[in-house]
């Protein structure tokens, strides 16, 4: 991880979806930089473990069981943050999902895929941003980073509903950034490329089943690596730490004049 200790010592950060994958790496990155980290996730056992790891680094952290699709649950997340740490400086909207048919073509997706991905990725991000909106304006500073995807810029026929939801996250980010810029609040996205987290393990499995001619008898990991070879000009996978570094950078003083951006971390998978 890059060293951001000067930027985040004592700052209060919420990371949603921080029980695994990119959210976990981001939460640990902030903890490593001395921030007080609220680990917010639906998964209590895994989330509590991440929070414990941060405390072992010598930094404060709490786990708050949170469902970002539920406004009451988000209110509880904010209340617990303020009662524990008295403040909030940074919100990272990382919780995300792809629904049960991620890895299928357009005609094989169902309403449940569109509804689930919009509910978590778009509505969840909206709810969390809304929950901090007045507070950030009143205090005169704040950083919001939303996790989108390169699929939100390029589209991808194997994940159509997910791509569309991430395009909406990018647009939501631009809208909010314009609105909050006069109040010294930065709102940006990170657009990850391909990282082998639980979401990709499921996607790799499904793609192997859906496209056997392209991925004959391949394990989810082999399907993932075949996609790296096909889609990523730098020919290497991205890591959760790569994404965490980008999130921390966008929240740092060095990025104070960066807002409304959707920063790709994808080894060149979207080159224009």
Ligand X SMILES: NC(=O)c1ccc[n+]([C@@H]2O[C@H](COP(=O)([O-])OP(=O)(O)OC[C@H]3O[C@@H](n4cnc5c(N)ncnc54)[C@H](O)[C@@H]3O)[C@@H](O)[C@H]2O)c1
Contact in structure between 61 and 38 (CB atoms under 8 Å) = yes
- CB-based contact 200:238 (threshold 8 Å): no
Determine, following the binding rule CB under 6 A, whether residue 155 of this chain makes contact with ligand X: no
DSSP per-residue letters across 10-66: T-EEEEETTTSHHHHHHHHHHHHTT-EEEEEES-HHHHHHHHHHHHHTT--EEEEE-
Binding status of residue 199 toward ligand X by CB under 6 A: yes
CA 87 to chain centre: 22
- Restricted to residues 54-83, the positions that interact with ligand X (CB under 6 A) are 66-69
Q: How far apart are CB 105 and ligand X at their closest, in Å?
A: 19
Taking CA 18 as the corner, what is the angle to CA 120 and CA 190, rounded to the nearest 5 degrees?
Answer: 70
Annotation marks residue 205 as catalytic: no
Is residue 95 within the footprint of ligand X (CB under 6 A)?
yes
Residue of 118, 127, 133, 162 marked catalytic:
162
> Judged by CB under 6 A, which of 43, 126, 137, 171 binds ligand X?
43
Q: Does 34 bind ligand X (CB under 6 A)?
A: no
By CB under 6 A, residue 158 contacts ligand X:
no
| Shortest distance in whole angstroms from residue 257 CB to ligand X | 25
Residue whose CB is less far from ligand X, 218 or 240: 240
Query: Dihedrals φ, ψ of 107, to 5°?
Result: -70, -15
Judge contact between 201 and 210, C-beta under 8 A. no
Question: Which of 51, 59, 81, 149 touches ligand X by CB under 6 A?
Answer: 149
Stretch 201-260 residues interacting with ligand X (CB under 6 A): none
**Residue positions annotated with a catalytic role:** 162
């Amino acid at each position: 991880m890059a060293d951001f200790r000067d930027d985040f010592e004592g700052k209060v950060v919420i990371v949603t979806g921080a029980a695994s994958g990119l959210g976990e790496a981001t939460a640990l990155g902030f903890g490593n930089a001395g921030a007080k980290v609220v680990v917010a996730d639906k998964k209590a056992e895994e989330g509590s473990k991440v929070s414990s790891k941060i405390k072992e680094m010598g930094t404060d952290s709490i786990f708050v069981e949170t469902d970002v699709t539920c406004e009451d649950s988000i209110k509880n997340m904010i209340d617990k943050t303020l009662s524990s740490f008295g403040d909030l400086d940074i919100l990272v909207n990382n919780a995300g999902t792809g629904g049960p048919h991620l890895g299928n073509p357009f005609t094989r997706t169902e309403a449940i895929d569109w509804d689930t991905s919009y509910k978590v990725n778009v509505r969840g991000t909206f709810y969390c941003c809304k929950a901090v909106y007045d507070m950030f304006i009143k205090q005169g500073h704040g950083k919001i980073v939303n996790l989108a995807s390169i699929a939100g810029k390029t589209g991808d026929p194997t994940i159509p509903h997910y791509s569309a939801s991430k395009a909406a996250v990018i647009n939501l980010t631009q809208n909010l950034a314009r609105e909050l810029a006069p109040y010294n609040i930065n709102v940006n996205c990170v657009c990850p490329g391909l990282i082998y987290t639980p979401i990709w393990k499921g996607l790799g499995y499904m793609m192997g089943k859906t496209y056997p001619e392209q991925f004959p008898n391949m394990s989810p990991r082999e399907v993932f690596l075949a996609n790296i070879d096909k889609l990523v000009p730098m020919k290497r996978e991205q890591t959760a730490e790569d994404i965490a570094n980008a999130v921390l950078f966008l929240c740092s003083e060095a990025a104070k004049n960066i807002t409304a951006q959707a920063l790709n971390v994808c080894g060149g998978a979207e080159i224009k």
